[in-house]
Amino acid sequence: MPEVQALPCGFETLEPFVSAWALPTMQERNARRVAMPMDQIRAFYDAIAPHMEPLLDRFSALSVDHAMSPAEERLFYLGQAFMEVAMAMEYFGEPDVPDGFDRARWQIVKG
């Protein structure tokens, strides 16, 4: 039986991050970011950052009614996870928002 590819061709180097970061909801991605130590956030950020332009180009070229394959969905979720961790890496320097509103009081109602 052939091995199932976790991500589309060209993004194979990101496959080690799929199980931890390819999460389908904003709430799951937010919780993952806050729960992860900065060294793991940095490893993910550093691995995916060089792939963001091709990732965005890939999805920008699709029509809105394109039915994504499971591999494309996982890649899409990784792109969303990158956006979730970018602020932690580029501004906060820590997984959660410093001096921010208590995140336990936030309820993400969509996404």
Instruction: Choose among 99, 85, 68: nearest CA to 21.
Output: 85
Which tens digit of pLDDT belongs to each residue from 14-40?
999 999 999 999 889 988 999 999 999
- The residues near 37 (Cβ < 8 Å, ≥ 6 apart) are 95
Distance CA 44, CA 78 (A): 9
At which residue do the structure tokens 């194979």 appear?
A: 12
21 three-class SS = helix
Whether residue 3 is predicted with pLDDT greater than 70 in this model: the reply is no
Greater pLDDT, 98 or 18: 18
* CA–CA dist 104, 22 (Å, integer): 22
Specify the pTM: 0.84
